[in-house]
């Protein structure tokens, strides 16, 4: 195993998202999706890890394990349960979490939107509706008031995957499909829903401006899902087209931001006949992805090539596995690739592992990404060896 050393002040922590760990997110669109009679999801999120109530215990774990940062999301569906109607209790809840992190010496990295939205937003047309931009900014203007002491805020998690989800939902609702022509045959992801993409991008820019107007010191960015796209001879054009469609156009929107989040898990290779998948099935992770530990380093290099000198933070990287030794091996390779990127002069400010807890993986609890296991009935947390190993690396990082 490599010895991992990172510079003083390097953010080194874990990532989570509200819907995946809080439980009973009943006013969100995902809860509605999970309970729809024709739902495609294997199981509902239910109580998740009950982190809505156990966030203090979770923050204790983050600190005790040796991490210095915790990325979590605040839930729009709880903060604005009906149009323009705020829940001051929900705002106080998230404010308490931020205080809880600061009191423990943990840097809170706050995501304002992580895939979920209030049901009323969905009923009004979700991101395909042009008003979605103002709806989101209205929520953000309220939320920014609880962010004292926070340095890094992400407006929207994985706008590129959000665009793909919007397309899937749009198709499910039986709408016409003008995006069909943008699809790249054989590619692992369909083209994002263009009508939604336009508004998601506008929402990011408007939210960023609103946050900066209220809190010029806040470092604002968003987090982009890196697909780590490469080609063998003959696949270059398809690879470039796919990269532009699902990733690069979003990264180009980051060039005026304070930072960009890089989220990477695996890679995608194209050849003359399109997408290539020749990794043996029994080596794939529990999400069915290729085991490719150096993906994150490759993602950082690709991102830097587009965003230039915008600082990067790895806001997600991890592996769905029930073999914790494999989690350590994967993360060991991932950290070496981050270190190599730093050594080559890339401006990488942090590494936040996905995820602190085994959680709701958008339809199922089976793909376990957690450093910490969670009993689904007692919610008892059990620290895995990978958590101690990774936290030990965090402990070795000097403060700035
Ligand atoms: C998302 C997380 C998700 C993870 C693993 C990212 O796409 O931001 O919510 O759990 O990847 O699939």
Q: Quick one: pLDDT at residue 172?
A: 83
Picking from 294, 246, 305, the residue whose alpha carbon sits closest to that of residue 266 is 294
Q: Quick one: pLDDT at residue 173?
A: 82
**Measured between alpha carbons, how far is 227 from 398 in angstroms, rounded to an integer?**
32
Residues touching ligand 1 (Cβ under 6 Å) are 17, 20, 157-158, 161, 225, 263, 287, 316, 354, 361
DSSP string, 302-355: HHHHHHTT--EEEEEE----S-HHHHHHHHHHHHHHHHHHHHTT--EEEEEEE-
85 included as an active-site residue: no
CA 213 / ligand 1 centre spacing (Å): 30
Helix (H) or strand (E) holding 91: helix 88-103
Ligand 1 atom 9: residue of nearest CA: 17
Which atom of ligand 1 is nearest to 354's Cα? 4
Q: Quick one: pLDDT at residue 1?
A: 80
Catalytic residue among 34, 107, 158, 197: 158
Positive or negative torsion for Cα 225, 15, 154, 339 = negative
**Measured between alpha carbons, how far is 116 from 383 in angstroms, rounded to an integer?**
28
CA 51 / ligand 1 centre spacing (Å): 17
**Measured between alpha carbons, how far is 90 from 52 in angstroms, rounded to an integer?**
10
**DSSP structure class, residue 37:** T
- Tens-binned pLDDT, residue by residue, of the chain (400 aa): 889 999 999 999 999 999 999 999 999 999 999 999 988 899 999 999 999 999 999 999 999 999 999 999 999 999 999 999 999 999 999 999 999 999 999 999 999 999 999 999 999 999 999 999 999 999 999 999 999 999 999 999 999 999 999 999 888 888 789 999 999 999 999 999 999 999 999 999 999 999 999 999 999 999 999 999 999 999 999 999 999 999 999 999 999 999 999 999 999 999 999 999 999 999 999 999 999 999 999 999 999 999 999 999 999 999 999 999 999 999 999 999 999 999 999 999 999 999 999 999 999 999 999 999 999 999 999 999 999 999 999 999 999 8
Which atom of ligand 1 is nearest to 287's Cα? 12
Which atom of ligand 1 is nearest to 161's Cα? 7
Q: Which of 313, 354, 370 to mutate to test the pocket of ligand 1 (most atoms within 8 A of CB)?
A: 354
């Amino acid at each position: 195993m490599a010895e991992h050393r990172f510079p003083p002040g390097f953010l080194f922590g874990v990532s989570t998202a509200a819907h995946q760990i809080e439980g009973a997110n009943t006013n969100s669109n995902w809860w509605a999706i999970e309970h729809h009679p024709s739902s495609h999801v294997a199981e509902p999120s239910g109580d998740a890890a009950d982190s809505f109530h156990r966030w203090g215990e979770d923050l204790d774990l983050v600190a005790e394990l040796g991490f210095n940062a915790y990325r979590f999301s605040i839930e729009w569906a709880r903060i604005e349960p009906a149009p323009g109607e705020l829940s001051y209790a929900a705002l106080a809840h998230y404010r308490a979490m931020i205080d809880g992190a600061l009191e423990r010496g943990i840097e809170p990295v706050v995501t304002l939107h992580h895939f979920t939205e209030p049901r009323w937003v969905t009923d009004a047309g979700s991101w395909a509706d042009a008003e979605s931009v103002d709806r989101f900014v209205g929520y953000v203007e309220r939320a920014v008031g609880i962010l004292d002491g926070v340095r890094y805020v992400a407006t929207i998690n994985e706008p590129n995957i959000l665009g793909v989800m919007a397309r899937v939902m749009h198709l499910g609702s039986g709408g016409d499909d003008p995006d069909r022509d943008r699809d790249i045959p054989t590619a692992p992801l369909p083209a994002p829903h263009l009508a939604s993409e336009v508004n998601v991008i506008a929402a990011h820019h408007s939210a960023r401006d609103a946050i900066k107007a209220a809190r010029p010191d806040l470092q604002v960015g968003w987090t982009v899902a890196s697909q780590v796209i490469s080609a063998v001879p003959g696949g270059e054009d398809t690879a470039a087209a796919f990269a532009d469609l699902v990733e690069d156009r979003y990264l180009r929107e980051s060039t005026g931001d304070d930072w960009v989040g890089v989220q990477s898990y695996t890679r995608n290779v194209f050849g003359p006949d399109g997408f290539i998948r020749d990794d043996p099935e029994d080596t794939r992770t529990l999400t069915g992805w290729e085991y490719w530990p150096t993906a994150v380093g490759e993602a950082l290099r690709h991102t830097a090539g587009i965003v230039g000198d915008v600082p990067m933070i790895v806001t997600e990287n991890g592996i769905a596995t029930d073999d914790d030794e494999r989690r350590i091996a994967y993360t060991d390779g991932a950290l070496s690739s981050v270190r190599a990127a730093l050594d080559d002069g890339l401006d990488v400010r942090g590494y936040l592992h996905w995820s602190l807890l085994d959680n709701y993986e958008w339809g199922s609890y089976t793909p376990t990404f957690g450093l910490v296991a969670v009993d689904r009935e007692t919610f008892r947390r059990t620290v895995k060896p990978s958590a101690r190993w990774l936290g030990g690396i965090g402990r070795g990082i000097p403060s700035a």
